[in-house]
Structure 1
Amino acid sequence: MANSIRAGISLAMLAGFFVLAAAQVAGLLALGVWLSTVLAGLVVVKLLWPLFAASTWAVGRGVWRAVRSRPEPPDGLLMPADQAPMLWAAVRDLAAEAGTRMPDEIWLTAEANAAVQEESRFLGLAGGHRRLYVGLPLLQTMTVAQMRAVLAHELGHYSERHTRLSAPAYRGRLVIAHTLERIGPNNPAGWIFRGYARLYLLVDHAVSRRQELEADLASARAAGADAAAGALREIRVLDAAWSFFLGQYVHLGWESGYAPADLFAGFGALVEARRDELDELRAHEPDDSGSRWDTHPPLSERLAALAAAPHTTASPDTRPAAMLLADIAEAGRALQRVAIDSGERTLLPWPDLTAAALAARVQREADAVFRMIARTVGRPVAGLADVTEYIAAGQLTTIAQPFFPTATRREAGPLFAEPLETLLRLAALRSGVARWWHSWSGPAEFRGVRGTELPLEEIAKLAVTPGGLDKALGELAALGVDIHRAVPADTAPSTFGSDVVGGLANVRADGVEHDLFVLTTGLVLVADPGKSDNGRQRMRELLAATSAVSLAERNRFVAFEEIEGVRIHKQVPLDAELVLYGGATLRIGERWSSDELDDGSRKRLVSLLERV
């Protein structure tokens, strides 16, 4: 009965969106009839057409796109019963305890999570094909008891018929999202629709939170309240570990053109090596007060509900959940082949990936130092051998000052030891006497190829000490470091690792209109942008079709490292003058009709320019 009421609420909220659109159209027609008695017909059309179009064309297009859209299943590996008999047996047992139909398919996914999906029919009134998605990282690291609790929670969504509501809720969110995409931020009709969208999401998320609590209780009934609570705590820990693993290890190589040969084996090794750190995270309950915009209740609320649920006396199964698969290592490699698109990246074992990726990072950092020095001395290229010649010629302060513009001339020379150490590391790498050593328990370490420490920091400090350069060069030679091997690989400002953080449509750059995209590494100016009334949508469509790096390569790119100074004459609308190295200037002027890529784009741009 409760689920029927929720289904009715979902459908009523969706219907209300169309009633709102129809009411706006009726009101606009009535207003048009009245205005036609006091104004010329053409004037009335020009005044009301934007509102009418928002209430008809935008809604119609949103409905059309929502009807044609289908939920995309996660990329994963289908696991037939004959390839994972123990996993299927556990799911079959839990489904029987939950009193629900078995899923038709079980998929492994590359996520530290689990989920269910059902292709319901007739707006959720009839069930359909069921899929259960199980994250391989959970199977790698959980116990059988915890894994059973996770599976029971997901099957609880089936037994409570939550998945049947996903179809109308999914369609409703798509209709509203697609409609708002087509309406400009300054259109009054959009204000009304956005207000209703917030109400729709509030109701939708409140229903979702209730469903999660019901699925938790279903998990407690099937697997035990203690196991259910333990699984909730463990998923929080593993989710943090998985995010850390992707950000600090996988992305490290990914951005440099390398991918791990065995992704999931790496995660298992990380969890094992950092067990003490994860135990500390397990020991601290999160401070999660929650929000009405959340789709899941706070963990504390979920744990409190489980604490009040009936408890069983069965002994928990502490065996590793990996036993539910016949060969979890092979399953991980198979999942990586189908779910992880490595593109043209080179597959490497983890130690080699870390060494290659960090060596590439050192080269990029050194290139930025070389470019700054070359600009300072007026040379097209500068390598480490050139840098030592400048120091020997008494030009240390000259080449150091741009790196530390607020330092005095007396302070700048000694401070240059830091960028110089980067150049020495590059020379050691290119000379084959050093490498980055991989570690799962901490950061990678820069050491000699035999694991010995290299005193490059001390040598760099010695080199910038008056009279210390020759001794420093002697120590480098004794280590086998050839300074002539440290040369720039990229003499132009790099767009490597660029992400779009904002944008302004229809701004004037030196008097010519452009769309301005703000990247983490600089500014991209796209000429001949088009009309100002659809700037936000135009920029978003462009970004959906290309990457930030490609955008910078095909248009004018002004790297932040090329900007010597900034004068901001006015922040709203933005009026700024950028002084580039070499004496050129770039004047950026925002118009009142300019649009932001997203709210806060202007503020982020001003903040970046002020830091420059």
Structure 2
Amino acid sequence: MTSALRALLSVTMLAGFYVVAVLQLAAITGVTIWLAVVVNAFVAVKILGPALAVLYASVGAAMWRALRSRPQPPHGVPVAPQQAPALWSLVERLAGEVGTRMPDEIRLVPEVNAAVMEQSRLLGLIGGRRYMYVGLPLLQTMTVAQLASVLAHELGHYSGRHTRLGGVAYRGRLAIGGTISRLGPYNVAGWVFKAYARLYLLVDNAVSRRQEYEADRASVRVAGREVAADALRGLPALDAAWGFFFARYVEPGWENGYVPDDLFAGFAHLVEARRAELAELRAREPEDTGSRWDTHPPVGARIATIMSLPDVPVTPDRRPAGVLIDLAGAGRAVQSAMLDIGDRTVLPWPEYVNAMMTAIVQKEADAIFRRVARILPGHSGPLTLAHVFDIVSGGPQPLRLIGEQLFPEATRREAAALFAGPLETLIRLAALRSGTAFWRLSWTGPAEFVDRNGAPADYEEIAKLAVSSPQGTAEAARRLESMGIVLKSAAQIATTATADGSDVLAGLANIKIDDVEHDVIVLTKGLVLIPDPGKADKGKKRLHQILGSTTPEALAAQYRFLPYEDITDTEVTREVPTRATITLHDGRTLAVQERWNSEFATKNSRDVFLKVLGELRS
């Protein structure tokens, strides 16, 4: 299929959207006129006038937005030819072999991906400025041959003129999506547009999948079948490693106010240290079976197609792709340009991991301190480990009270013994704050907790000794002191629980809390209660606006936040509509009542809320 035919297909599908709109407008207008003649003009306008007005406004607004919109400006960090001559030379050679014009810019992005974009004109029939995006992780982990295969695939989109249709497809999706969102779920016209939108996406995605197969042919012509298949096979494993790297090494530090000084160097270290695991991931057969709604074919199907093509004898360049560019400088440039670190502290990797893990231990300790404080109604100010040792030394009774706060389902004797675990966390914090232990970076596993000499630091036996008897508490304190661990150095920082690191689980609008109308946001760490939220019939829209415009942490800071750790019991007397009572540790209760006009952010929001209440039941 030629570029002109593809452009014609996209334009035809987009035009069909407006034909559907015109036909609906004509139908409703005709029925309105018929009712006006047969029944009464006032009745006709009363019944169908709102539908006409909404349809005209929705289609008009969506059309205007689509025609005036422009694709997002280029992102990433541009790399000039003089900055990376080897990379530009490779791309120039590949463009010649594929038979297409060079990109005007090469940009580095922090993604396990490569892509191309073209600012075309006249509905994609006239080419424009070209951009190639190269993911820095690809340069860090691939060979030159594998990278050449990936880039040849992207250049194949240029030679096939696939990129010229981006503007048409973008405007089509924008117009249809905008109209559907404005019409709402209960408008009959919206049902017709949804059906057409499904057809539009089916056709557009089918064309996209075919283009991926065509671009793979360019990859084989340049790199050969084996290298092309190997590069494609490695991308899912590399993407999984990138996700693991962020989840394990980056996000916890980011949430606690720290950033590594060279993020991408860390990823390179991780990949090097876990080569065996990555090789195992690469060897697995892709499980994705694909869907007709996907824009890309399944990886397994693409690899099978690649291996069925005529091979091209090519001697693969097995040098690391990093030789094409200054990796260290490029990594720091991308991090500086694309990460807004705010007021976070930037540290070298070893210090960063220690600071990140210490912050995590501090939060765990704060939660323990808050529970201990519940048995000290007269105490004021933050607690320290020294306070806890004083309480534990008082004998079985105070120890049982502490254990019951942390392990409500255990027996009294079990709760006292189980407190050795949380106490070990507090001792770890004291060791960290006293400088006698630290967290050591590891790329092959979790960070290691070690003493000054690098040996594993283990305080389990001391914690068990401390809860064994008043004499054991005194002996445990003496041993810690002999190690240089100061009990008072482990001090409480957060006296109230926060929503830091929370995710949104559900949203419920128009829920009565103690007879006052609220919106309720269910987080992984607590409930956000928003009083007097607004009009009842705008509940779902309001929830989506709230959740789409801010973070869980900001919501908890702005409105009343009810941490789960402050809830001692719940009772659900009716599930639909929900009736429940929440009991707090200070004895107060909250009456929860779902109303007939309550709305939900997602279909399962009520079920999620009920599940959370059930898990909090004592």
The answer to whether the superposition gives a TM-score over 0.5 is yes
Counting only pairs closer than 5 Å after superposition, residues 104-503 of structure 1 correspond to structure 2 as 104-325=104-325, 327-378=326-377, 379-380=379-380, 381-393=382-394, 394=396, 395-466=398-469, 468-503=472-507
In structure 2, the CA distance between the partners of 1:50 and 1:273, relative to structure 1 (3 Å rule), is farther
Preserved CA contact (<8 Å) 1:62 1:175: yes
Whether contact under 8 Å (1:579, 1:585) holds in the other structure is yes
1:561 to 562, 565, 569: 565
Q: Which amino acid aligns with 1:579?
A: T
Q: Is 1:574 aligned to residue 578 of structure 2?
A: yes
1:44: how far off?
5.7
* TM-score normalised according to structure 2 size: 0.94
CA contact (8 A) 2:393 2:469 kept: no
Matched letter for residue 571 of structure 1: E
Q: 1:35 to 1:549 in 2, by over 3 A?
A: farther
CA contact (8 A) 2:55 2:183 kept: no
Q: Kindly tell me: are residues 387 and 99 of structure 1, through their superposed partners in 2, closer, same or farther at Cα, counting changes over 3 Å?
A: same
The residue number in structure 1 matching 2:514 is: 510
With 513-522 and 152-161 compared, the bigger mean Cα shift is at 513-522
Q: Secondary structure at the match of 1:305?
A: helix
Q: Check if 1:548 corresponds to 2:552.
A: yes
CA contact (8 A) 1:58 1:183 kept: yes
List per-residue Cα deviations over 1:514-572 (Å, max 9, x = no partner): 22222222121222322233322223333343322122111111112111112223333
Query: What is the CA distance between 1:409 and its match in structure 2?
Result: 1.8
Q: C-alpha distance in 1, partners of 2:172/2:99?
A: 30
Take 1:238 and 1:267, find their aligned partners in 2: how far apart are those partners? 11
Larger deviation: 186-195 or 353-362? 186-195
Q: Does 1:520 align with 2:520?
A: no
Gaps spanning 5+ residues in structure 2: where?
A: none
Q: Which moved more, 1:594-603 or 1:392-401?
A: 594-603
- Describe the shift of the 1:479–1:159 C-alpha distance in structure 2 as closer, same or farther (beyond 3 A): same
| One-letter amino acid of the structure 1 residue matched with residue 417 of structure 2 | P
Q: 1:95 to 1:291 in 2, by over 3 A?
A: same
Q: Is the 8 A contact 2:391 2:399 kept in 1?
A: yes
The change in CA–CA distance for 1:158 and 1:185 in structure 2 (over 3 A counts) is same
Tell me, in whole angstroms, the C-alpha distance in 2 between the residues paired with 1:450 and 1:176. 64
Task: Write the letter of the residue equivalent to 1:488.
Answer: Q
Q: Give 1:285 shift.
A: 1.9
CA distance in 2, matches of 1:484, 1:173: 61
Please report how far the alpha carbon of residue 37 of structure 1 lies from its aligned counterpart in structure 2 after TM superposition.
7.1
* Greater Cα shift, 466-475 or 115-124: 466-475
1:585 aligns with 2:586: no
Structure 1 vs Structure 2: percent identity of aligned residues? 53
TM-score (norm 1): 0.95
* Cα distance change on mapping 1:81 and 1:523 into 2, 3 Å: same
- Of 74-83 and 99-108, deviating more is 74-83
The CA distance in 2 between the partners of 1:328 and 1:551, in whole Å, is 39
| 1:189 positional shift | 3.4
Please say if residues 36 and 42 of structure 2, whose CA atoms lie closer than 8 Å, have aligned partners that are also in contact. no
Instruction: Check conservation: 1:288, 1:298, Cα contact below 8 A.
Output: yes
Q: Distance in 2 between matches of 1:304 and 1:336?
A: 37
Give the direction of change, closer, same or farther, for the CA distance of 1:352–1:43 in structure 2 (3 Å limit). farther
- What is the Cα-based RMSD across aligned positions, in Å? 2.1
What amino acid maps onto 1:569 in structure 2? T
2:372 is matched by which residue type in structure 1?
A: I
Q: How far apart, in 2, do the equivalents of 1:292 and 1:604 lie?
A: 31
- Aligned residue pairs total 611
Cα displacement (A) at 1:602: 2.4
Q: Which runs of 5+ in 1 are unaligned?
A: none
How far apart in 2 are the matches of 1:73 and 1:249?
Answer: 30
Task: Decide whether aligned partners of structure 1 residues 475 and 50 sit closer, same or farther in structure 2, where only a CA change above 3 A counts.
Answer: farther
CA pair 188-41 structure 1, distance change in 2 beyond 3 A: same
SS of 2:346's equivalent in the other structure is strand
Range moving further from structure 2, 264-273 or 152-161: 264-273
Tell me the CA shift for residue 121 of structure 1.
1.0
| Secondary structure in 1 matching 2:529 | strand
Q: Is the 8 A contact 1:22 1:55 kept in 2?
A: no
Higher mean C-alpha displacement, 153-162 vs 532-541: 532-541
After superposition, the C-alpha distances for 1:172-192 in whole angstroms (9 at most, x for unaligned) are: 111222233334334443333
